[in-house]
Structure 1
């Protein structure tokens, strides 16, 4: 474990310090970070700003911090984003011993976390299973197809399918998953810097003190799908970065101004839906808004390529990085419903997602 313990900051202090870290550390090094990988020092600086302790505070505060960080450096943002779900899970756990051990280190950023849960939303046989063992323990088997923050995270929240259609969520020290034969590093063209790996689990033991929760799979899946119908704030961070880039090129200033205005409209709609509508309601509108925001981010990032010209074909340029970061939002938190909404926005009939018809983009 690493990173400073910090006192609780109020909302204004958190945003001020997070902005300072973004401006002084993350943004100036973003192109280098995309090539070399996110360093732990970036997360420690965000921890010192109080930004790693926002999962249990007002959602609007985390949204603002997310936009600030993702606008400065998309790779650091995605590693940062992995931390919040484990924090929420530990904070809500009935396991008092687990909360006592981990919650404060997680909230202060002295402990950095990652998670492996998206496989629980995929159809077909379980990717990871949990088999009951002696003394109330468990054994995990299968493959974590995607784990971000490998080599940075101290602990990992892992979800596995247990008997009776329950999901066993456990918090494991990262070293419990590590072995030369088990870890397979991904080669990525987008977000390569986020230390993404696949990990094979062969009878990995889990003690009772490591169990976070055991909800019904159907209940968890409903919550997951409802959450991922929303537009992620990082999309608006991406738009901040691309419109700022375009604003420095005279030919594209009008594009930048138009994109800023449209982004503000979509942000207002997205956040109003989150703040005023219960989860599970207005799902079509949420999905359409998400698709429109991602589409705007992609088109504006493509304009950055055009503005920069032929030199943007080099993978180490800012324009290329912005294009790769915007493209990532096509698959981040993707569900069949989100894919369907994007296909309809693009005017494409998609038999794989059973699109009943096409419709114009929302205005």
Structure 2
């Protein structure tokens, strides 16, 4: 957590207290309203990590983590829609491309909201979405299994894999168009409100000037792995929200565990070499899940029969915690988590 107040942290707290938390149970049963996203746009939080040159805040990583915790703990569905936005911003800020000058400033300011369609790339050597060159640009074919924020996002960062095992990232409008057809919104056990669809691509054409990054899969996967082994701030945000529902005696030992796991996780997240200590990062990711699961279970037990109502905050948090167990999951993180559960069961 940050040791001194930061304006974006203060704004996140106000947004959570005044808007997100009071309406979280209703949103959970309905959908993230455009008004919530408009409030996030106005807050400046969409530019938390964007360069100041393009209108962003270039805030420290600790600030980005703390604001993510606050939003996730208040309304996980709203957090999940807006968190997609930060990957396209980071890609544009990190890699020089013609599309940077077109999109980075409106994305940093919140004028535009971006979503992501690239998790399927982790299935390689299976290729759910293929990118092929054609005159003046690229053609995308296949199925994007998950795309969040449909109807709220303005643009999407789409990825496909070429025949030469390169990952191609390019921007396109987040709307139905020739070669791009969304499914109806998915009904999920948690975060249905985040407007997740699958997307069928059948000859979607993207111009060369919309390409943000082209990189060999092996090189991309090293960078991606470093992100997916770290504990998510959202896990800590949900845990904090669950602990707030407990009496002090029940919450105290869980809070001690939470503070220790978070401290160690964030210390490694700030390590100057992101590809080191991977086993320890995975272990801490799993420990963060354990604390979250225990805290949300305790909140359910505290709530008793009332916790079974769909209007119960404890029940919502427990379902959101279930979602976070698989969000951003890879084969590696799944294996580590299952091994930990098996060890706990045999101990």
TM-score by length of 2: 0.92
For the 8 Å contact 2:8–2:48, the answer to whether it is kept is no
- Aligned-residue CA RMSD (Å): 2.0
For the residues of structure 1 that align with 2:15 and 2:95, how far apart are their CA atoms?
32
What SS is found at the alignment partner of 1:278?
A: coil
Which residue does 1:54 correspond to in 2? 48
Instruction: For 1:125 and 1:293, locate their aligned partners in 2 and report how far apart those are by CA, in whole Å.
Output: 30
The match for 1:40 is: 34
Aligned counterpart, 2:53: none
Distance 2:184 2:145 in 1: 9
Checking the alignment, whether the CA contact within 8 Å between 1:177 and 1:199 is kept in structure 2 is: no
Contact 2:115 2:147 in 1 (8 A): yes
Contact 1:150 1:196 in 2 (8 A): yes
- Partner in structure 2 of residue 355 of structure 1: none
- Which residues of structure 1 form unaligned runs of 5+? 1-9, 248-252, 350-357
What SS class does the counterpart of residue 146 from structure 2 fall into?
A: strand
2:258 is the counterpart of 1:263: yes
**In the alignment, which residue of structure 1 is the partner of 2:9?**
15
| CA distance in structure 1 between the partners assigned to 2:279 and 2:179 by the alignment | 44
SS of residue in 2 equivalent to 1:329: helix
| 1:4 paired residue number | none
Residue 213 of structure 2: aligned partner: 213
Q: Deviations over 1:334-353 (max 9, x none)?
A: 1122112212222359xxxx
Question: TM-score, normalized by length of structure 1?
Answer: 0.88
Residue 125 (structure 1) shift: 2.3
1:93 to 92, 95, 118: 95
The secondary structure found in structure 1 opposite 2:311 is coil
Q: 1:246 is paired with a residue of what secondary structure?
A: coil
Q: CA deviation at 1:95?
A: 1.8
Map of 1:40-189 to 2, 5 A cutoff? 40-56=34-50, 57=58, 58-96=60-98, 98-135=99-136, 137-175=137-175, 177=177, 182-189=182-189
2:132 is paired with a residue whose SS is strand
Match of 1:24 in 2: 18
Equivalent-residue separation in structure 2 for 1:67 and 1:54 (angstroms): 14
- C-alpha displacement at 1:211, in angstroms? 0.6
Query: Equivalent residue for 1:314?
Result: 309
SS in 2 for 1:175: coil
Q: Does structure 1 conserve the Cα–Cα contact (< 8 Å) formed by 2:112 and 2:155?
A: yes
Equivalent residues, number: 336
Q: How far does residue 86 in structure 1 lie from its aligned partner after superposition?
A: 0.7
- Structure 1: distance between partners of 2:179 and 2:187: 19
